[in-house]
């Protein structure tokens, strides 16, 4: 560099060195809380964290400065606040950090960060969580998964979890060593559930699941800082998973923290162990319900059988009793009918005998009268008709014999023997059809029996 230049001047190194001295004297010793957005983040293998802090207004960048967190400071922040700074520094995320301004003549201005405020970070996480929930609600995705049907026994499980994580081990422990001997079929779909790229690995695992092969999807995360939950507030991740054809059962939160995934999932529980216990208890509740219903059915069946037996026994006894009563009544009626028939037969025989005796006596008297008349006529004519005496005697004898034969012929018993019958109604002999009407009962006397019949129709013969 030329030393003989006439104008008064200073070298760049001297100028920047003076600026560096002023920084060290007045600015660098003082730390201030700076709010800015992370940009150009790089995680070097050395453990030092390099990035830029920027501020934008109305879409334009109005400030930018290089920043660094030395490895020692990053470890101190983790011990103090349980924040994994390397995972927390995500491009586009706004942070509140404690920094000192340092100026170097060669490297220029930079901020050396010694602390990060976790509460400010959590506030940003909550803001993103609320914004994502509002967007899912607007797009009608918030309640889709809750409307899916969960079977009473969830046996085929697709598990999205980090490989080798304690949460996955806790879940499998709950499922495989339950107190009831239940067996569950599960498949592990490996995915990172925290840190950069976690959302993409979860989506990749989800897209590998065949819905026809499983009853539900289990998404779990075991332990970690609260800020690590921010991956589950990722809009694209939630919008995709919320449209799943299978119900989600998640266990990714802490006792008080909730993520967007917890809001739309069919079942949301605190921990992987709680998920396993819930699945086992759900199966147990179903077994108890089935057993209870079976017992109720068996009790109802036994009561029904007993009632049926009692009813059948009562009806059998009633049938026997009624049968005996009917038989007894029929025997009484039969006895009464038999007695009535016997009495009626005796009365009819008696009347017929009397009628026959009356007719026989009448014919006998008539025969005697005729004989007397003949004798009288014979005596009157004896003198004049001597020559006819024998003829008259023979004729009279012949007439007498004919009369006797006639009497025998008209004897009722002989008439009946020739195939004739007598009709009687109310013990009176029926002589004319006008005496009969349809529906009346008549008695028919034959040579060997009495018959009773009902008149169906009476038709008079013409002529």
Does residue 237 share a domain with residue 189?
yes
Which strands, in side-by-side order, build the sheet including 156-161? 185-190, 156-161, 216-220, 248-251, 267-269
The whole-model pTM stands at: 0.51
Tokens of 245: 């054809």
Does residue 264 share a domain with residue 176?
yes
pLDDT in the model for residue 122: 66
**Cβ neighbours for 48, distance < 8 A, ≥ 6 positions apart:** 68, 69, 70, 71, 74
**Which is it for the CA torsion 150, 151, 153, 156, positive or negative?**
negative
Whether the Cβ atoms of residue 122 and residue 227 lie closer than 8 Å to each other: yes
Domain contains 7: no
pLDDT in the model for residue 3: 57
- Alpha-carbon distance 146 to 125, whole Å? 24
Tokens of 366: 């008539």
Domain contains 399: no
Q: Determine the structural domain holding residue 167 and report its residue range.
A: 126-270
Give the CATH number for residue 189. 3.40.50
Low-confidence ranges of the chain (pLDDT < 70): 1-7, 121-123, 223-228, 253-256, 367, 371, 374, 377-378, 380-389, 392, 407, 409-410, 462-463
Q: What is the 3-state secondary structure of 50-105?
A: EEEEEEEECCEEEEEEEEEECHHHHHHHHHHHCCCHHHHCCCCCEEEEEEEEEEEC
- Alpha-carbon distance 191 to 202, whole Å? 5
Phi and psi torsions of 453, nearest 5°: -140, 155
- Alpha-carbon distance 100 to 448, whole Å? 148
Domain contains 105: yes
Whether the Cβ atoms of residue 252 and residue 225 lie closer than 8 Å to each other: no
Q: Identify the CA nearest to 98 among candidates 35, 29, 41.
A: 35
How does DSSP classify residue 297?
A: H
Q: Which of 247, 270, 293 is the last residue of a domain?
A: 270
The pLDDT tens digits of the residues spanning 155-169 come to 999 999 998 888 999
pLDDT in the model for residue 333: 81
How many domains does the chain divide into?
3
Domain contains 313: no
pLDDT in the model for residue 381: 62
pLDDT in the model for residue 245: 95
Does residue 130 share a domain with residue 112?
no
Does residue 137 share a domain with residue 200?
yes
**Cβ neighbours for 396, distance < 8 A, ≥ 6 positions apart:** 371, 374, 378
Does residue 157 share a domain with residue 89?
no
Does residue 136 share a domain with residue 262?
yes
pLDDT in the model for residue 231: 80
pLDDT in the model for residue 161: 93
Does residue 42 share a domain with residue 101?
yes
Q: Beta 441-445 vs 450-454: how paired, if at all?
A: antiparallel
């Amino acid at each position: 560099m030329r030393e003989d230049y006439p104008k008064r001047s200073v070298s760049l190194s001297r100028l920047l060195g003076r600026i560096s001295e002023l920084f060290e004297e007045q600015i660098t010793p003082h730390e201030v809380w700076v709010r800015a957005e992370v940009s150009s983040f790089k995680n070097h293998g050395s453990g030092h964290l390099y990035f830029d802090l920027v501020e934008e207004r109305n879409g334009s960048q109005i400030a930018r400065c290089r920043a660094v967190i030395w490895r020692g400071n990053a470890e101190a922040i983790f011990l103090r606040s349980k924040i994994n700074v390397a995972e927390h520094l995500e491009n586009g995320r706004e942070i509140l950090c404690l920094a000192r301004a340092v100026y170097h003549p060669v490297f220029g201005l930079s901020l050396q960060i010694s602390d990060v405020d976790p509460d400010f970070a959590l506030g940003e996480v909550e803001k993103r969580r609320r914004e994502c929930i509002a967007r899912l609600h607007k797009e009608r995705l918030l309640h889709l998964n809750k409307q899916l049907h969960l079977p009473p026994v969830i046996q085929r499980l697709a598990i999205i979890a980090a490989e080798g994580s304690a949460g996955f081990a806790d879940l499998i422990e709950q499922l495989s060593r339950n107190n009831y001997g239940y067996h569950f079929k599960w498949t592990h779909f490996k995915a990172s559930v925290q840190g950069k790229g976690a959302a993409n690995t979860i989506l990749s695992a989800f897209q590998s699941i065949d819905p026809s092969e499983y009853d539900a999807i289990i998404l779990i995360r075991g332990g970690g800082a609260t800020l690590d939950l921010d991956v589950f507030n990722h809009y694209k991740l939630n919008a995709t998973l919320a449209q799943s054809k299978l119900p989600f059962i998640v266990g990714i939160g802490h006792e008080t923290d909730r993520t967007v995934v917890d809001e739309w999932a069919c079942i949301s529980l605190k921990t992987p162990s709680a998920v396993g216990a819930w699945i086992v208890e759900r199966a147990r509740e179903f077994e108890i319900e089935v057993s209870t219903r079976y017992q109720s059915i068996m009790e109802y069946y036994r009561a029904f059988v007993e009632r049926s037996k009692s009813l059948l026994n009562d009806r059998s006894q009633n049938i026997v009793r009624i049968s005996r009563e009917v038989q007894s009544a029929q025997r009484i009626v039969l006895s009464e009918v038999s007695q009535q028939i016997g009495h009626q037969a005796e009365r009819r025989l008696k009347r017929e005998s009397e009628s026959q005796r009356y007719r026989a006596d009448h014919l006998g008297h008539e025969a005697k009268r005729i004989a007397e008349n003949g004798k009288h006529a014979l005596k009157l004519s004896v003198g004049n008709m001597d020559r006819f005496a024998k003829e008259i005697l023979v004729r009279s004898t012949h007439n007498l014999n004919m009369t006797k034969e006639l009497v025998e012929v008209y004897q009722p018993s002989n008439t009946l023997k020739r195939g004739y019958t007598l009709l009687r109604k109310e013990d009176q002999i029926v002589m004319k059809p006008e005496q009969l009407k349809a529906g009346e009962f008549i008695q028919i006397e034959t040579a060997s029996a009495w018959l009773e019949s009902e008149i169906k129709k009476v038709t008079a013969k013409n002529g």
